[in-house]
Chains A and B, each alone.
Chain A
């Protein structure tokens, strides 16, 4: 397992560098940020002065060199927009995103495993058909639409929940999480159901039943662990989506997460913050991919034995 991990991590280093470089160049293709930060009436001299102060007058390779040298010292620069250190801004925003992603995936996976298994247990039964239809619908509802509806219905009309915001009791989590949840939940229910249907029709399930195992034991003791591989993969991908930023939820509910930070810094050409944010999410995503691989190895002894390429 240790060699497995070491190899996996080493092989992740190069893509990481690719992402960082890619973001650097892509960001600079979006144009010079000077105009955004000076008043419309600023003179040419003022513009030049500002560009020089921020290092935008240098050639791209020179800018890249400066960036890499600073990054090596863990200095990711200062935000043009707020004047804060980019690292600090990113580290402030990231926990919010992680919390949202964590709670969402926890609930999505738990819920999907329960409901997906129940549906798969009796294929084509009423439960199955309701669960399938609901999950398909859930997976195809535009999330911002759901969010705005949620605010209007539960926030304003019924008054059960706060409309938005992060400060307060657990109730502030409900709408953002529910919005984030619908799609992963819908997708995962279908994936769990699909792989559970095939797992439950496997001969070893019949054997388990012939031993007098209860349905619970059959589902959770035997079928689930065999059905978990595709579920893990899909859940991993969905989590990547959430880590990369739940922009819509963060925007609507005013959660200061990394997604909102990224889109703001793109629109504001705040390169330092953008680069720091992408680096952090990329590292997280690589870690997540490794985690998924480890989970695969843990759940399936056959994967564990095969030496990874």
Chain B
């Protein structure tokens, strides 16, 4: 923020306050990578939401005679990406798996984001004993072997998607807890918080109105990175046999089950792997963009014309090593 005042970040000098900040889609249009990410994510979300309506039971329909067919154009739409060992269409399974994958990853991330941030902001704002308590809770969760919980819950109780969500959510709470605590602890001594306090504003209002908005971009960035983490962990659980259980299918499960066919039938494991990579990279790109776009002091970065951004002229000559 101080950057703007002292070293004359151009936006503040050149765009007076009455000038409305540029529309977000214009900013998105400027960042081709983020725009591509947004398109991919939208696509994935649409497929996850509505894909099952179109494929019917194709994801489950087996044909042992059509086992391990390579991708081809001659077997109709469902043969486009080949078949798996049970002769099920890989395309249909990818579509079906998109729904499962997102229905695990998104709630897991949201749960840990909400719970972890709430606890962390509360702890960081109040400080003292409450802060210590929250941090120790985080310590316990972090040092608890989450695999043990996973095995207990998934083998002893029931291996449902809901349980996987719960496990992943609990395991990731400390990350948000610590991040938001740090932010809140730093902000609680700031002038505007003090001011609010002197007016007798209740603490949850201060946290909600004053601290949360400032901490949110960071938390959202962490959440995006976590989205990736959750998908990969779910995949690793499948590798160990305790992830999503057949006949449900997730991308992680497909990668895990297909890995033994890596040499003979690459499409079974490479395609879902690619789906994971594409989705998470898109989410990360979009998060990076959103972080900049929501930060007035950084927004100008997005406004650089494309051709100059990569060119050396965009960088002060002094800074070229």
Contacts and interface: CB of A to CB of B under 8 A. Distances in A.
A15 B140 contact: yes
**Majority secondary structure of chain B interface residues (helix, strand, loop or mixed):** helix
A215 B321 CA distance: 6
Contacts of B140: 15, 18-19, 22
Nearest to B252: A142
B310 A141 contact: no
B232 interface: yes
B304 interface: yes
Given A145-B255, A209-B319, A309-B132, A240 B143 contact: yes
A281 B259 contact: no
Contact of B225 (A121, A129, A190): A190
Interface in A233-252: 233, 237, 240, 244-245, 247-248
Contact of A136 (B182, B231, B280): B280
A266 B151 contact: yes
Nearest to B142: A240
Interface of A: 11-12, 14-16, 18-19, 22-23, 26-27, 29-31, 121-126, 129, 132-133, 136-137, 139-145, 148-149, 152, 183, 187, 190, 194, 201-203, 206, 209, 214-216, 233, 237, 240, 244-245, 247-248, 259, 262-263, 266-267, 274, 278, 281-282, 285-286, 289, 309
Nearest to A128: B310
Contact of A12 (B139, B148, B279): B139
Nearest to B140: A15
Contacts of B178: 233
Interface of B: 2-3, 6-7, 33, 127-129, 131-132, 136-137, 139-140, 142-149, 151-152, 155-156, 174-175, 178-179, 182, 221, 225, 228, 231-232, 235-236, 239-240, 252, 255-256, 259, 262-263, 269, 273, 276-277, 279-281, 284-285, 288, 301, 304, 309-310, 314-315, 318-321
Contacts of A237: 142, 174-175
**Majority secondary structure of chain A interface residues (helix, strand, loop or mixed):** helix
A237 B171 CA distance: 12
Contacts of A18: 140
8 contacts: A15-B137, A125-B315, A137-B277, A140-B277, A233-B179, A237-B142, A245-B147, A266-B147
B284 A14 contact: no
Contacts of A12: 136, 139
Given A125-B309, A202-B3, A247-B240, 17 more contacts: A16-B143, A23-B145, A30-B151, A30-B155, A125-B310, A140-B277, A144-B236, A145-B273, A152-B263, A214-B321, A237-B142, A240-B142, A244-B146, A262-B145, A266-B148, A286-B143, A309-B128
